[in-house]
Structure 1
Amino acid sequence: MKILLINPNRFLFPPVPPIGLEYVAASLAQKGHEFRLLDLTFHENADALLDQVISEFMPDISGVTVRNIDSVLFHDNEFYLDFIRDIVLQLKDRHGLKVIIGGAGVMVNPEGIREYLGADYAIAGPAEDIINELLAALCCGENTKKVWNGIFRPYSPCSRITTAVDYKQYYNAGGIAGFETHKGCSSSCVYCIEAHSRVVFKRPENVIREIKGFIENGHSDFHLCDPEFNEDLDHAIEFCTALRQEHIRMQWALYMKPANYNQKLFRLMKETGVNLITLTIDSFKKCPLYWTDVEKIIFNAQSCGIRIAVDFLTGFPYEDNELLQWCLDYFRRLQPDRVNINTFIRLYKPLMITKIIERDDTLKTHIIGDWDNKEMILPIFYNQIEPERLRELIAGDRIFKVEGEEKGVNYTRS
């Protein structure tokens, strides 16, 4: 079959290459399918370009990635699905193509998003393997199900085709290449779609092969696409050790959680070119040991000369200003390079935080958005800390930034 893969993500702060489609493209090619990857990130007239590519390529079916359904942040929130829906309608109504959707954003609500976009099929989770099963079912004329659960096999050698994306254009616009050492996350964060998702690791040599490909093409700056690099300490050390042995000159930024670390890991990260760690933390029902781990990770990063930023989500149900003040004083004492504070919690249908709010009507007074829209596809937030109160407590301290008030991510910020 001929499959047109489309990246509709046009967010530019920074632009993010469609790594998921690169893995899907390689998997399709291995099974004998012909693909074309259409990246709309830098194109203003997407409608005309899509018509042109379809006329030239004549695909049998199309696949559209949904990286995010919105920008997640309350301040200057951007909702992406309406633009993607226009693309889906163009594919179906103007060209008669069936549409498969996939990508991280679909995990939020696979059936709800499929219906909202008007797509024929949705893949929830890694699509590299399952898309070929879906295509096989369609080729056989089977009346197949609408939502397919993605799978990824442990240490899969799944390859990646990077030549279909213009990485020079991404780098010139402030974006950088990405790679991943595993999929999934074992953490139980009440606000995160990836919580409790199956963890599957990649072989370090396969990941390093991807990195070398970028290095050979002159790209040496990277951002890790794992939920958090230190999901497993042994695997993180194994990867860094293998990377060090290759003597690759590169810089990379990554996310970590306050767990699964030691001094050896930080030394290896420094030796392999890590120049920024973003530590993701929240204030929801945390024990003293949690805050001790946060302190140790910040100390270890600083001791190794690695910049460290903190993404801090706070203002959960039943918390008070006393806790917020304690957290701010705590960060003032530790002095990471930057603390991005977010007090607007994006709610999604399957989240534990959503269920907590659902059980207590008094909490619903802090809802911003349409609570009666049970699919929660349109942006809806929980906020109990007034912005003015937050600014008062921050008191002009330059270490703190209110998330969403400036565009960008940590690796693009000074």
Structure 2
Amino acid sequence: MSSLTSQTSPAPEPPRSAAPGKGAAGGRTAGRDHFFDNAKYLAIVLVAMGHAWEPLPDSGRLVETAYTFVYTFHMPVFIMIAGYFSRGFELRPERVWKLVTGILVPYAVFDVVFAYFHRAVGDPAVSVFPSLFAPYWLLWFLPALFFWRLSTPLWQAVRAPVAVALGVAALASMSLGIDQGMQVQRMLQFLPFYVLGLRLRPHHFDLVRGTRVRVLSVPVFALALLAAYWAVPRVSTLWFYRQYSAQELGSPAWAGPLATLILFGCAVVLGACFLAWVPNRRSWMSALGTCTLYGYLLHGFVIRTALYRGLYDEPFLSTPLGTVAVTVGGAAAVTLLCTPPVRRVLRPVVEPRLNWARQKRVGAAG
């Protein structure tokens, strides 16, 4: 699984036009739609930029505005695409095995690697025996994706699955005591985006790829930025992490479900606007979009090294030019980490096949 949202074979779809509103071949090559590769690459760039902004000292209201704006939709888009390409998932041995080797094994490996890394460059007191039930920082997404995919048959069977998933997220947002070690709160609060992705069909993406949505997205983005600017001193960005209940954020329990619905609506609208500007055709970013798992896992080492080594304490980074440098640096770093040479070197670790550990099927040759 070279991408966090790998284009696996979904359930069969009826024939449709290749480009939004057109009959041209668009960005499809041998059955692969490069629109999604481009979207995954651009989304992972936003993820890296957001992580690069987090440690900035005295970042100022404009950077906080950009941070709030990006965090409204960048992970929801990623998760929706993951759900979309999980529509054909079935609880068959070969699919479950691929899920284990493509998600759980890299998670276990990198959880240990990050522990040693943190001990070496950050805090020597950190245990070198990390708990696999307490994901390190950005690793929470891998076990979440594992459990979301395992739950796919349930969401394909239940009536009104998106509404049910929103209900689960709303209950989680007002529930104290949900295990924070395994990031269960995040799994449940982000769940509606995965389920929405399961319900989406190609024609839904064709709609957002049209010129009309692209034009409408400009004023929507402008209004969203103004709203984010207004919200910065008034609303904690911790709401966007989906990591805590309403009470833990100092709000009454009833605010949890309300925030769940508001943030869901905002993420869907801004996600559609974001996708409207994603290139449809094969481009230089298409190949990078097939290796987003590498960029996701590895960019954390770059950002945390800069943080632990005190680079974020440099006075230059408190200036507007320094903020630009951090932004460009985050985007450039994750881009390099998604390139084919990195994939070739680290593929045995990130995409292990582990055929030696797999049980032979009954009746198989040999």
Q: Would you say same fold, with TM above 0.5?
A: no
What is the TM-score normalised by the length of structure 2?
A: 0.26
Question: Which structure has the highest helix share of the two?
Answer: 2
Which of the pair has the greater relative contact order for Cα pairs under 8 Å at 6+ separation? 2
What is the TM-score normalised by the length of structure 1?
A: 0.23
**Greater Cα radius of gyration, structure 1 or 2:** 1
